[in-house]
Structure formats: structure tokens, C-alpha cells
Amino acid sequence: MTSAQPNDSYRRQIRNILLLFAAILVLYILKMMANIMIPLVIALFVFVVVNPLLSRMDRMKVPRFLSMIITLVVVVAVFLLFIYIFFVMVNMLLQSDSGIPAYAARVQELDRGLSAFVAPYLEEDPQTFSILAWLDINWYGVAMSSLTSISGKFISIISDAMLVLLYLLFLILERQTILPKLLAALPRGKVQRASQLITRMNRQVSKYMLLKLIISLITGVLFYFAAIITGLDFALVWGVLAVVLNFIPTIGSIMCTAGTIFMALIQFAPDWSNVIYVALLMIGIEMVVGNIIDPKLQGVQLNISPLLILVSLAVWGYIWGLAGMFLAVPLTSIIQIICANIPSLRPIAILLSEGRYYRRDFDRKRKRRSQTAHEHDEGDDNIELPDEMNSEK
């Protein structure tokens, strides 16, 4: 028995090391094959989103060919609408009379005011000191070159979108045969567990994507009307950015809110009342959406640790860039579900989880132990002492 235990421990350590190297190898392959994998993964998530629509049309006895055409038309219409709004935004920002070029003088004026205020604390000459020059930031050149490069990537964006649509078309065509083929390829004893695993992944990711889309649209509409009410320029830009960036947990909402406040600072300063008004309104929208609307719609959210969400954002952002940050949460959720259904990987699922259940269980056991110890102590206090030790009586 004693010799078998070290061997089992040694094999377990070797297996864990091999799993670690395998995970690193898979991530490396995903990074190297980003151009192929990103459109495929996006198509899979779009398929998960439209699959409930296809299932509903199946229950309504709609012919499969017609349901496929309807679904593809809806997807293409949404994509074309997004492309149209996107390029309207870019052209709006590139306009010389009302876009970023018109704000160049305003930024320089704001820089002079802030530099004069900060210079004494940095022991610099208020007449010559400039924060932008000190930070060595050519904000105007960076902004204009970024927008121009985005406009120049129109062909690349269209080609990637066409590849996503092509993948989506074949996924819809094989929708009725994908699951049976996967289950038929597995050993007979694991078919039921695999079927439950796939169903759970599909249900959880589909719910997350649909509700996240609804919440993002609500956030975008609120940001748009808040910008119009406060007189903040580029209301359409802030509304669309709120929709898009809301898919990046935590960081996206912070970036969008900070952007509106910075825009208010450039546009309204030194009228600080308007700046404060914009800041309070935008922060209030994020608080209401994040703490009231989101929990009401999501109900029981994805059971992922907030810290691990930030880590997954960094990891998938490094592997697939901005697309990886948008896909980080659903991908992490899939990994967690897979690990939870494989006994040897279940500790990873526990570490990825938010931990509320385990915390309640831990507190319950600790409370039970505390009560037991307290009762034991009270029992010790009630023990009758011998007569010779009760001399005070």
C-alpha cells in the first residue's frame, strides 16, 4: 500500500504537468491560427444566438430551406446595418468642420489651462510647460491615423464577414446532423454525459449572448439619449460604442464612461457644471444597468469569478486581440462547463467559479464547528468541581 501511494502521486503529478503543457500548446496553436479560428468561432457564437429562432420555426412547421433563408437574411441585415452605422461614425469624426479636426484647437486650449495649473507642482515654467508635450502624446495624429486605417480596412472587414457568413451557412445546413455525428463518434457509455454537456453549453452560452445583446442595446440607447440631453457631441458614436464595448465585461463600460467624461471635459470646460452633469448621468446609467437591469434580465448569471473574467480578458486579448476580448467570457464559460463534467478537471471548474456556493458551504461548516466547540466549552463550564476545589462556597 505504501509503495502504491507514491506511484499514484507521481503519476498524478506527471499528468498535471502534461495537461499544463497541452493547454499552453493549444493556446499557442490558437494564436498562430487566429486568421482561421476567429471567423469560425464568431460563426459558432452567431449560430448559437440564431439557433433558438431556427428551433422555433421548426416547431411552427416552417420548411427548413425557408427558415435558413430567413435566418441568413436577418443576420446579413444586422451586419449591413452595423457596417452602415460604423462608417457613418467614421465619416462624422473625420469631418473637418465638426469632427476631430475641429477639436484640435480646443484640446490645445485645455492643455494650456491644465498645464498652467499643474506646472507649479512639477516645478516647471507655466509659460512653456505642456502636458501633452511632456507625455509625448500626438493625440491628433494617432486619432486621425487610426480612423483612416479603419476606413482603409473596409475590404478586409467585408472579406472576414463573408467568411463568417459562409461558416454560418454550413453550420445551419448541418444543424440536424452535427450533434448526432458527435454523439455517434463517442464511446457508448459516454453518450448521455456528452449530450447533457453539449445541451448545457448551448443553453448557457445562448442565454448569455442573447441577454447580453439586449442589455447592450439598452445601454446604447440610454447613452445616446443622455448625450443628446446634455448636448454632448457625437451622440451616435457614444451610443454605438456603449453597445459594442458592453460586450467586454467591466473594462468596456469603464472605457465608454471615461470616454464620454473626457469628451465633456474637452467640449464644456471650464464650464464644470456641464462636465459634472455628464459624468453623473453616464455613471448613473452604468450603475442602473449593471446593478438593476442586468441582474433582473440575467437572473442567475454565469458562475465565473470576476477576477478570472479579468484574467480571461487579458489571455484571450493576447491570443486573438480585440475579438478575443469580446469572446473571452463565453469561451471561459464553455471551458468551465467542460471541466465541471470531467472528474479529473473538476478542480479547475471550482477555481473558475464565482464561489458563492462553496463560500456558503464553508461558512455553514465553520458555523457548525463553532457551535459544537461552544457547546463543548459550556459543558466544561458546567462540570461539578470536587469539594476541595469549591472552597469559595
Q: Is the pLDDT of residue 381 over 70?
A: no
User: What's residue 392's pLDDT?
Assistant: 42
239 shares its domain with 155: no
Whether 19 is in a domain gets the answer no
User: What's residue 120's pLDDT?
Assistant: 72
Whether 73 is in a domain gets the answer yes
216 shares its domain with 172: no
| Domain stops at, among 185, 216, 235 | 185
Q: Is the pLDDT of residue 386 over 50?
A: no
148 shares its domain with 134: yes
Confidence of residue 222 (pLDDT cuts 50, 70, 90): very high
Mean pLDDT across the stretch 264-287? 86
250 shares its domain with 357: no
| Domain stops at, among 279, 301, 323 | 301
Confidence of residue 98 (pLDDT cuts 50, 70, 90): low
362 shares its domain with 317: yes
Is residue 341 left, alpha or beta, with left meaning phi > 0 and alpha meaning psi from -120 to 50? alpha
48 shares its domain with 142: yes
Summary mean pLDDT of the chain: 76
| Domain stops at, among 150, 185, 220 | 185
User: What's residue 223's pLDDT?
Assistant: 92
163 shares its domain with 261: no
Confidence of residue 393 (pLDDT cuts 50, 70, 90): very low
State if pTM tops 0.85.
no
- Could you tell me the three cell numbers for 176? 440536424
> CB–CB of 223/256 below 8 Å?
yes
Whether 43 is in a domain gets the answer yes
Whether 282 is in a domain gets the answer yes
- Could you tell me the three cell numbers for 340? 465541471
Mean pLDDT across the stretch 1-17? 67
User: What's residue 384's pLDDT?
Assistant: 43
Mean pLDDT across the stretch 135-141? 60
Measuring CA to CA, how many Å separate 272 from each of 107, 182, 249? 16, 61, 30
pLDDT tens-digit readout, 47-97: 888 888 888 888 888 888 888 888 888 888 988 888 888 777 777 776 666
pLDDT tens-digit readout, 187-207: 766 667 777 777 777 777 777
Q: Is the pLDDT of residue 231 over 50?
A: yes
40 shares its domain with 140: yes
Mean pLDDT across the stretch 223-231? 91
How many CB atoms neighbour CB 241 within 10 A? 19
341 shares its domain with 242: no
Mean pLDDT across the stretch 320-333? 83
Mean pLDDT across the stretch 308-336? 84
Residues 6 or more apart whose CB falls under 8 angstroms from that of 98 comprise 92, 233
User: What's residue 383's pLDDT?
Assistant: 40
- In terms of residue numbers, what domain contains 54? 35-185
Whether 17 is in a domain gets the answer no
115 shares its domain with 178: yes
pLDDT tens-digit readout, 342-377: 777 777 777 777 665 555 555 565 666 666 655 555
Whether 192 is in a domain gets the answer no
Whether 387 is in a domain gets the answer no
Q: What is the rounded CA–CA span in Å between residue 236 and residue 322?
A: 21
Nearest Cα residue to 102 out of 92, 112, 111: 92
180 shares its domain with 71: yes
Mean pLDDT across the stretch 209-234? 88
User: What's residue 372's pLDDT?
Assistant: 62
User: What's residue 142's pLDDT?
Assistant: 59
User: What's residue 375's pLDDT?
Assistant: 53
128 shares its domain with 41: yes
Whether 386 is in a domain gets the answer no
Tally of domains within the chain: 3
The helix-helix angle for 64-94 and 235-245 (nearest 10°) equals 130
Residue type, 345: L
